[in-house]
Amino acid sequence: MKNNRLVIISHRLPFSFKTENRETTLKPSAGGLVTAVKSLDLSSFAEKPVWIGCADFTQRTWDKHRGLVDDSFEYVPIFIDKQSHKSFYNGFSNSVLWPLFHYFSTYVDYHHEEFKAYQLVNETVCDRVVEVLKPNDLIWVHDYHFIPLPQLIRQRQPDARIGYFLHIPFPSYELMRLLPSACRTYLLNGLLGADLVGFHTSDYCLHFLQSVQMALGQPTTFGRVACGNRLVETGVFPIGINYALYNEAYHQPEVVQEREQLLTSYPGKLIFSVDRLDYTKGVLQRLDALEAFLNLYPQWREQIVFLLVVIPSRDEIQRYSERKQMIEQAVGRINGKFATLTWLPVVYRYAPLSFPQLLASYSACDVAMITPLRDGMNLVAKEFVASRQDQRGALVLSELTGAANELGEALLVNPLDEYEVAEGLKQALEMPPEEQARRMVAMQQRIAFYDVKKWASDFIQVLLNAQSATPVGAGK
């Protein structure tokens, strides 16, 4: 790594700017990718790493306020005009790729012009990347916004070393087939421009290889794809979390204080969930399961509170804004049906939590109910487990998350079956403390070992060893 410079490319940079009362401040963004990249040992690279992403601020703001940004990376914002970005992001990325890759095929809203905008934005990003690149750069492209980018870069820089990681599921070929053939060919060829294509689970990886065979007619052997004179490597890298951060937060004074407040406010059993507002997260089905639980087990009424936190997300897209209304109706229905004069079954919040509030909720609750209909990984489940230094609490987890592969000691449920989830909830609430501890410790050991640092360094190591830029047969 000593000879390489790392170049990260993701849709957004890890910060934006906020102007209030004419004062501009830096707003750092959290999230899995940012934590992962920032946890890398950057001193092992030759020079200061570069981070390239689309700006959600103006060139003027950047010129005036770039001094506020930390200097651990050289940040390269790309300014895309509003209309193209909308078609690229709200359009093709989030109205075609996101629903399709999460098996919501009927939510796919394909428009040729938006696909064109997606291509155009990727080409614009490629132009900027190529200007910035130096020989020996190690390029790491992230997520579904930039599927074509590896190939676009490869066409301009045939010897570049390019890694790509997909943060969401890669669906089975039956789903990929729904895309117009020119579109799916373009996307698959896009990924094949990389030297290494990484996924969270082996299923996603197999689906990708199967699509390459079926759609492109290209043979794959032992997880490799021969592309002309190159061999493209695939790999499974289940993203982890900063385990120590979540585990050690248990004793942080702000977390302790918030936790005490929660425990005082909710003396009964506390059930907790937190998700972005997204139909893939299964919030409505979770509420149905809670209703089924309260119907089936009336003895639990007035004994539990469900703290449901939903984080605003992509609310310019109709599928998202209408979801908010549906969730609010369901909360109203359940509270209207079961509330007494002194008890409300669902406490609902539509706003983010601060880090101490999030950690206090993880560590105060009796049950974390995490039931997405599909999720590439789901970091919330791992964070909950890591935060339980007291080895208490039970996890009800959807079997349709990537995380379920690593968290087998959770109570795994099918999120579509409200009765199965209700039974999982009952079992979680009644689980003896010794069993909670036994399951929790097993999960903690696993996620403490393969943490986010290991995830990132593993990917980089495999990328360094990938030989796709070397012609097949020459020196192999």
- Is residue 96 a contact point for ligand GDG (CB under 6 A)? no
Minimum CB separation of residue 381 from ligand GDG in Å reads: 8
The stretch near ligand GDG (CB under 6 A) out of 26-34, 119-127, 179-187, 216-224 is 26-34
Binding flag, residue 353, ligand GDG (CB under 6 A): yes
Choosing from 226, 263, 311, 416, the residue that interacts with ligand GDG (CB under 6 A) is 311
Using the minimum distance from each CB to ligand GDG, give the nearer residue, 90 or 124: 90
Catalytic residue among 288, 366, 375, 451: 375
* Distance, CA of 173 to CA of 192 (rounded, Å): 16
Dihedrals phi, psi of 84, to nearest 5 degrees = -65, -40
The rounded distance, in Å, linking the Cα atoms of 455 and 93 is 25
Residues 6+ apart with CB under 8 A from 82: none
**E strands along 216-268, which residues?**
220-221, 224-227, 230-236
Residues paired with residue 50 on neighbouring β-strands, in sequence order: 7, 74
Question: In whole angstroms, what is the distance from residue 22 CA to residue 17 CA?
Answer: 12
- Residue 30 CB, shortest distance to ligand GDG, in Å, is 5
Could you tell me the smallest distance in angstroms from the CB atom of residue 118 to ligand GDG?
A: 19
Q: Is position 30 an interface residue for ligand GDG (rule: CB under 6 A)? A: yes
- Closest contact distance (angstroms) between CB of 374 and ligand GDG is 9
Of these residues, 167, 195, 278, 366, which one is catalytic? 167
Tell me: does residue 274 bind ligand GDG (CB under 6 A): yes
Binding residue (CB under 6 A) for ligand GDG from 153, 380, 386, 447: 380
What whole-number distance in Å separates Cα of residue 45 and Cα of residue 34?
Answer: 18
β partners of residue 340: 343
Is 375 known to be catalytic?
yes
Q: Under rule CB under 6 A, how many of the chain's residues touch ligand GDG?
A: 20
Neighbouring C-beta atoms of residue 220, cutoff 10 Å: 17
User: Does residue 355 bind ligand GDG (CB under 6 A)?
Assistant: yes
- Which are the contacts of 90, defined by CB distance < 8 A and separation ≥ 6? 314, 316, 317
| Distance in Å, CB of 225 to ligand GDG, minimum | 23
Residue 220 token pair: 């794959």
Any contact of residue 301 with ligand GDG (CB under 6 A)? no
Catalytic residue status for 366: no
Contact predicate 383/362, CB 8 Å? yes
User: Within positions 133 to 152, which residues make up the interface with ligand GDG, using CB under 6 A?
Assistant: none
Do residues 275 and 248 make contact, with C-beta atoms less than 8 angstroms apart? no
> If you write DSSP's letter for every residue of 174-189 in order, what string do you get?
HHHTTS-HHHHHHHHH
| Residue 376 engages ligand GDG in binding (rule: CB under 6 A) | yes
Find the binding residues for ligand GDG in span 275-294 (CB under 6 A): 276
From candidates 137, 383, 418, 423, binder to ligand GDG by CB under 6 A: 383
Of 31, 268, 312, 408, which one interacts with ligand GDG (CB under 6 A)? 31
Q: Cα dist. 36→238, 452, 453 in Å?
A: 12, 5, 7
Three-state SS letters, 48-65 = CCEEEEECCCCHHHHHHH
Tokens standing for 32? 């899995």
Tell me the window of 70-78, 127-135, 257-265, 352-360 that interacts with ligand GDG (CB under 6 A): 352-360
Write down the least CB distance from residue 372 to ligand GDG, Å.
8
Catalytic residue IDs: 167, 375
Interface ranges with ligand GDG (CB under 6 A): 30-32, 167-168, 239, 274, 276, 311, 352-353, 355, 358, 375-380, 383
